[in-house]
Structure 1
Amino acid sequence: MQTPSTAFAAEPQNTTAQQAVEEQLIRNVLRSFEDCDDLRLKQLMQSLTRHLHAFIRDVQLTETEWNKAIEFLTAVGHITDDRRQEFILLSDILGASMQTININNETYGDATESTVFGPFFVEDAPRIDNGDDIAGAGAGQPCWVEGSVRDTGGNPVPNARIEVWEADEDGFYDVQYTDERVSGRAHLFSDEEGNYRFWGLTPTPYPIPHDGPVGSLLKATGRSPMRASHLHFMVTAPGLRTLVTHIFVRGDELLKYDTVFGVKESLIKDFEQQAAETPTPNGRDLGDRTWARARFDIILAPAES
């Protein structure tokens, strides 16, 4: 039986030959993509090969670990459907989503910063008029949100399409319920002066879905599934860069611990609490309910930036 010192001493004798075998395999894989006509795809696949093999060699990945990884990715695929995107969750908790956004949305003047898209956007959300309510049957404190949409030159952007979506106070988006409800989401358009306004719900913290493989990974690594309180926006207008972002609630204890790394200082906003007797901006009667209000002025970068 070898002692640890004997095993360690013997290792260098095979290092050169072993490295040669490993490096030859990498060259073979890289060469296999040489005839790819799509130069961008060729670049992506060859770079992925180099980084993937570097990781495998760096950690000395075992066959058992490799099989576990395959089982994990298979489980991620099995739980993904048209209402739940577990691959986006995985990308989010690894910071890959946020890093891709950073790379593709470089700072441009004072344009509003982007952040993660998230897995719960749904096409064809209902249209509302300015001043209407997106909450529907969603539970939570009413919140008045208003602001303007402008370009980096300070010019108003009329008719910008503003998609908004959020979780209810129980931490669920409408698509997570089984009753086909549509709540906490809508789209509206900025008016002729570039202004917009709507009623929603005061954002509250909630966990990302953690009953699947991504949740198991977070638990195994001692990480929380919690997201800081936020409200999603996607804003589009001709000739301007599409903005995908959130606004976050100032004072939320989770701002430094957002599990998808989506918080940016410029996106933290004041959600001012209002007493029940405070008149609402559009005369809505909330009875004896308290409410909140927030302002989010949006600045869109040029499309070519």
Structure 2
Amino acid sequence: MTARKFDITEQVLKSMKPANARFGVVMSALVRHLHDFVREVELEEAELMAAIEFLTKAGQICTAKRQEFVLLSDTLGVSILVDAINNRLPESATQQTVLGPYYWKGAPELPMGSDLARGVIGEPCFYSGTMLTLDDGPIEGAVLDIWSGDGEGNYDMQLGSDEMRARGRLATGPDGKYWFRSIKPFYYPVPTDGPVGSMLAAMGRHPNRPRHIHFIVSASGYKSIVTHLFPSDGPYLDSDVVFGVKQGLIVDFKRHEPGMAPTGEQVDVPFWTCEYDFRLVRGEQRAA
């Protein structure tokens, strides 16, 4: 027998008198869709309690360095969907993707050319490129906020360190060029010791992200972007657990034998180079 609709949905909607119009729009739609979901699956009381316990555990595991709700949003594809809706950029602009749960605000401001990953496990990699407008003009004073895991896929905060590692902020000069040393990023699983990990296992999904290095790129008068660069030779590019891979962000990293690096320094082990030009959109520009 089909469950009666009752009039509870309309009662909830009529009870709302929000002072903020946008809040009213969002909450009204949430109530309608949530109630429709409950009716569609005929949610059982035990399932409702399991959902409440899941959300409770997600809140309890969150800390200043771990955001389980961001991970939940990412793994359900919500983060990348919100990104797509809010960042309709011209085709030639650098694409945006998810922030991820490991961003740590306040990375050190470093001179251009710095080694961000000094003392960090991993294969050396030299990154370079230019910050450009859509018509290929250089952008002076653009800031790259950079972070990645180590060569085993572990971020500093996962290792219990209070010291930021493989992170830094660099600003471009008049020619818009940037360069720095770090490591070639490694693939890794998202945390699976919390409720999101249990959810992924129950869904029959793997927890892995492909190799990537993170950037927040900003410049006065331009739209800031949150993005990654993905080495083209790594696994999981077609099955990223957070659905963050975009074709324009996949880059061929080049391997070099020990010798002279692009910075002029001697490197005694094999190393990699990555060249990529970021193209930013002026504040008023949007996709047609």
Q: What's the TM-score, normalizing by structure 1?
A: 0.91
Q: Which residue number in structure 2 is paired with residue 19 of structure 1?
A: 4
**Alpha-carbon shift at residue 264 of structure 1 (Å):** 0.4
The percent identity for this pair of structures is: 38
- After the TM superposition, which residues 168-247 of structure 1 pair with which residues of structure 2 at under 5 Å, given as runs? 168-247=150-229
> Of Structure 1 and Structure 2, which has the larger fraction of its residues in helix?
1
Change in Cα spacing, 1:26 to 1:204, as seen in structure 2 (3 Å) is same
Change in Cα spacing, 1:20 to 1:244, as seen in structure 2 (3 Å) is closer
What do you get for the CA RMSD once the two structures are aligned? 1.1
Residue type matched to 1:281 in 2? P
1:128 equivalent to 2:110? Answer yes
Residue type matched to 1:188 in 2? L
**1: CA distance, partners of 2:49 / 2:107:** 40
Q: Which has the larger radius of gyration?
A: 1
Q: Which residue number in structure 2 is paired with residue 286 of structure 1?
A: 267
**Alpha-carbon shift at residue 137 of structure 1 (Å):** 2.6
**Alpha-carbon shift at residue 224 of structure 1 (Å):** 0.8
**2: CA distance, partners of 1:286 / 1:127:** 25
Conserved? CA contact 1:233–1:245, under 8 Å? yes
**Alpha-carbon shift at residue 276 of structure 1 (Å):** 1.1
Aligned length: 285
Where structure 1 has 5 or more consecutive residues not aligned to the other structure, the ranges are 1-10
Conserved? CA contact 2:256–2:271, under 8 Å? yes
Q: Counterpart of 1:186 in 2: which secondary structure?
A: strand
Residue type matched to 2:271 in 1? W
Conserved? CA contact 1:136–1:182, under 8 Å? no
Deviations for 1:250-278, whole angstroms, at most 9, x for unmatched residues?
A: 1222100110000000000011011113x
**Alpha-carbon shift at residue 20 of structure 1 (Å):** 4.3
Q: Counterpart of 1:262 in 2: which secondary structure?
A: coil
Q: Please list every run of at least 4 consecutive aligned residues from structure 1 whose deviation after the TM superposition is greater than 3 angstroms.
A: none
Conserved? CA contact 1:121–1:165, under 8 Å? yes
Residue type matched to 1:123 in 2? K
Q: What's the TM-score, normalizing by structure 2?
A: 0.96
